[in-house]
Amino acid sequence: MKQALYTIGENTRIAKDVYKMRLLGDSSACSQPGQFLNIQLPEKYLRRPISVCDWDAEGITIIYKILGNGTEMMSGFAASEQLDVLTGLGNGYDMSKSGDRPLLIGGGVGVPPLYGLCRRLVEQGKQPTVILGFNTADEIFYADEFRALGVEVRIATVDGSVGIKGFVTDAMAGLDYTYFYTCGPLPMFKAIEKTVTTSGQYSLEERMGCGFGACMGCSIKTRSGNKRVCKEGPVFEREDIIW
């Protein structure tokens, strides 16, 4: 974990209520895709946890959706403003288990961490397939960025306005995969759990006090004991989760 100041390089709307923010500064604490950072906002007491979408030597990219006051405030920040951020939080996805053809399933604002994961899996010579689920066409983001990595991208929308009509599980039909990685809302996880045929990893969410293991605010029970979503998670193996 590291605490540092970051300069906003970009903060643009990329879909309905969804923004992409580029944080310029020290990315050395980022070690695995699926980790998150915790952002201090003016006048807000607790920090806001947001997944790392991707990172490079110059900084970190995040994608967030306006949910309440904090994320709404974030959407108004201009480039060159500074933010105090804790980086390198959580375990991230374990890429060593992917096999040759991993399946990446993202729902809504669960999509971002899968991008950094996908890019690295492709670099390792793996052939991921990506399924992205949204409610409607105007919510869709990052489909082209994934395609630019040279992977097959399937899109499911609940209203059928783009791609397959239905849920991410409807887009899984006929797919042959070696492992899965997912991030998204709990109802999606429950549907995935009934559909998948391999082992895999889920990225969970909890309300957080600190984000770095100090307060026990985010604890869950797993098959291998009590775990903190912010420290031993947010990514948990399928076999470890008690639904």
Partner 1 sequence: MVNADTKVTLCGIELDNPIIPASGTFGYGYEFAELYDINCLGSLSFKGTTREARFGNPTPRIAECERGMLNSVGLQNPGVEKVISDELPKLKKCFSKPIMANVSGFSIAEYTETCAMLDSDEQIGWFEVNISCPNVHGGGMSFGTSPEMAAEVTRAVKKVTTKPVLIKLSPNVTDIASIAKACEEAGADGISLINTLMGMRIDLRRKKPILANKMGGFSGPAILPVALRMVYQVYEAVNIPIVGMGGVSNAEDVIEMMLAGATAVQVGAANLVNPYASRDIINDLPRVMEKYRINSLTEIIGGAH
Ligand X SMILES: Cc1cc2nc3c(=O)[nH]c(=O)nc-3n(C[C@H](O)[C@H](O)[C@H](O)COP(=O)(O)OP(=O)(O)OC[C@H]3O[C@@H](n4cnc5c(N)ncnc54)[C@H](O)[C@@H]3O)c2cc1C
One-letter amino acid at 62 equals I
Question: Segment 105-134, which members bind ligand X (CB under 6 A)?
Answer: 109, 112
Residue 37: beta bridge partners? Answer: 50
Classify residue 191 by its DSSP letter. Answer: H
Selection from 42, 60, 43, 40 nearest residue 51 by Cα: 60
For partner 1, which residue of 192, 210, 235, 241 counts as binding (CB under 8 A)?
210
From the list ligand X, partner 1, ligand FMN, none, pick the one residue 147 interacts with, judged by a Cβ distance below 5 to 8 Å according to partner type. none
70 backbone φψ class: left, alpha, beta (φ>0; ψ -120 to 50): alpha
Phi and psi of 148, rounded to 5°? -65, -20
d(CA 197, CA 142): 26
Q: Any contact of residue 202 with ligand X (CB under 6 A)?
A: no
**Residues 55-94 contacting partner 1, CB under 8 A:** 86
Q: What is the DSSP letter of 241?
A: B
- Tell whether residue 49 is a contact of ligand X (CB under 6 A): yes
Cis peptide leading into residue 187 (ω within 30°): no
Count of chain residues binding ligand FES (CB under 6 A)? 12
Distance (Å, whole) CA 231 – CA 226: 11
Rule CB under 6 A: say whether 67 interacts with ligand X: yes
CB of 68 to ligand FES, least distance (A): 18
Q: Please tell me whether residue 158 binds ligand X under the rule CB under 6 A.
A: no
Residues that bind ligand FMN (CB under 6 A): 209, 215, 217
Residues at the site binding partner 1, with contacts judged by CB under 8 A: 1, 3, 40, 44-47, 86, 206-210, 212-221, 226, 231
For binding to ligand X (CB under 6 A), which residues are involved?
Answer: 36, 46, 48-51, 63-65, 67-71, 109, 112, 205-208, 234
**Residues of this chain that bind ligand FES (CB under 6 A):** 208-211, 213-218, 228, 230
